[in-house]
Amino acid sequence: MVQTSTIVAASVGTVATGLVAYAIYFDHKRRTDPNFRKQLKKESKRQAKAAKEEAEAYTERQKEVIKAVVLEAKEDGFPRRRLKLRWWRPIEAALCFYKALKVYPQPNDLISIYDKTVPKPVLDILAEMIAADAALDVGPFGGGPGSDSGIPGVGLD
């Protein structure tokens, strides 16, 4: 009687041999058949186009959600209730930061704090929220030579 381990080893060997043979066949066909190469290129382009369209659709959906959340926050006005949020919900987290930014007397200072402490995905959503709200005036932001953030500049005279 044949042992089970012998049957398993033979089966694994057969499958491995089949996979290697298919890889060799595929490589040969890819190298020698121009129609096959053309078909592979078309399929690759089609997949890349589908992935790009999906990414654009996701971005558009996210922008619509952000705009809706900003409109809701504008209607809500001053935040009256404490939201129970979880860390994996970046839009809700950005909404809390946005509401705080609306009531904070010096939004530029708060933005610099956010820049140092808030995760980048939440910060990106917050930036879109700020851009969507024309009534929120954060003024010029940045520490470049043309900015006047109230801190005296140090120059080399």
Whether the per-residue pLDDT at 29 is higher than 60: the answer is yes
The pLDDT of residue 25 is 94
Q: What is the pTM of this model?
A: 0.44
Of 99, 118, 117, nearest in space to 107 by CA: 99
Q: Which long-range CB contacts under 8 A does 63-71 form with residues at least 24 apart?
A: 63/128, 65/91, 66/91, 66/94, 66/125, 66/128, 66/129, 66/132, 67/132, 69/94, 69/95, 69/129, 70/98, 70/129, 70/132, 70/133
Mean pLDDT of 2-31: 94
* Residue 11 confidence (pLDDT): 96
Q: Phi/psi of residue 79, each to 5°?
A: -65, 125
Model pLDDT for residues 76-89, shown as the tens digit of each residue: 766 555 555 455 68
pLDDT (average), residues 44-58: 96
Nearest to 62 by CA among 140, 137, 125, 136: 125
